[in-house]
Amino acid sequence: MMEPVIKRRYHPRYLYDLSEEDDLDEKLGEW
């Protein structure tokens, strides 16, 4: 989906810890 891509844009850290779309949501909570 486009959501993970957009989040990656203002969250460069996701580029390194990119595993699954669900992972992005979990990391957002920690951010």
Note the pLDDT tens digit of each residue in 12-31. Answer: 655 555 555 556 566 666 65
First to last CA, the chain: 21
Q: What is the chain's Cα-based Rg?
A: 8
Give pTM, 2 decimals: 0.20
Supply the pLDDT for residue 9.
58
Tokens read off for 23: 């992972």
Tokens read off for 5: 């891509």
